[in-house]
């Protein structure tokens, strides 16, 4: 929290993943002047006291940003492309950047992550593949490549994932990971 506070005034609390948000109450109380943003269709507790700004392509928390919504999911998940520096891709569960033996990860968790397919720079999260697609009878190998191509064509080179650390000069590594994971080529 001290690191966040050192950056300056918090103006926005942004939720782009449906499977997260349990700490929204905490952050909304800590930063009472910040605007709260979510995706239409996300479950927000009835007693949540902040006004909810629902993101659309034309209404986003950052000027010049772009919102990409994952296709055909039973719950909303988005990626924000923010035009800061070389461009920042802000992700949640969809695109992750996990490494074995990261400073915050135990040996046991590192092994679990490797066995579960969670390790890689810009890997599409196995949980999202299973719970947003496969368990609903949908084939992510058919649904996701056009979306991922669009994502990779956007102007960004810093990946700021909800899981793990930000990755600079990321587009090439993310491109390689996703094209291997989904067996597609950019035209």
Are the beta carbons of 23 and 36 closer than 8 angstroms?
no
Task: Walk across the sheet containing 52-55 and list its strands.
Answer: 12-14, 35-39, 52-55
Q: What predicted TM-score, i.e. pTM, was given to this entire model?
A: 0.88
Are the beta carbons of 85 and 69 closer than 8 angstroms?
no
Are the beta carbons of 44 and 78 closer than 8 angstroms?
no
Q: What is the pLDDT along the chain (187 residues), one digit of tens a residue?
A: 898 899 999 999 999 999 888 888 899 999 999 999 999 999 887 778 888 999 998 999 999 999 999 999 999 999 999 999 999 999 998 998 877 566 777 778 777 777 777 777 888 988 889 999 999 999 999 999 999 999 999 999 999 998 878 889 999 999 999 988 887 776 5
């Amino acid at each position: 929290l001290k690191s966040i506070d050192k950056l300056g005034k918090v103006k926005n609390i942004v939720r782009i993943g449906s499977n997260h948000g349990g700490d929204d109450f905490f952050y909304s109380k800590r930063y009472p002047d910040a605007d709260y943003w979510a995706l239409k269709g996300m479950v927000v507790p009835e007693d949540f006291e902040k006004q909810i700004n629902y993101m659309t392509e034309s209404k986003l928390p950052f000027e010049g940003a772009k919102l990409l919504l994952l296709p055909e999911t039973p719950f909303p998940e988005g990626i924000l492309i923010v035009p800061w520096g070389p461009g920042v891709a802000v992700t949640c569960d969809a695109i992750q950047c996990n490494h074995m033996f990261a400073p915050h990860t135990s040996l046991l968790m590192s092994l679990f992550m490797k066995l579960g397919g969670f390790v890689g720079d810009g890997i599409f999260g196995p949980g999202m593949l299973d719970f947003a697609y496969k368990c609903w009878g949908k084939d992510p190998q058919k649904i996701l490549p056009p979306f991922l191509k669009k994502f990779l064509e956007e102007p960004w080179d810093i990946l700021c994932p909800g899981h793990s650390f930000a990755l600079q000069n990321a587009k090439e590594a993310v491109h390689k990971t996703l094209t291997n994971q989904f067996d597609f080529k950019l035209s």
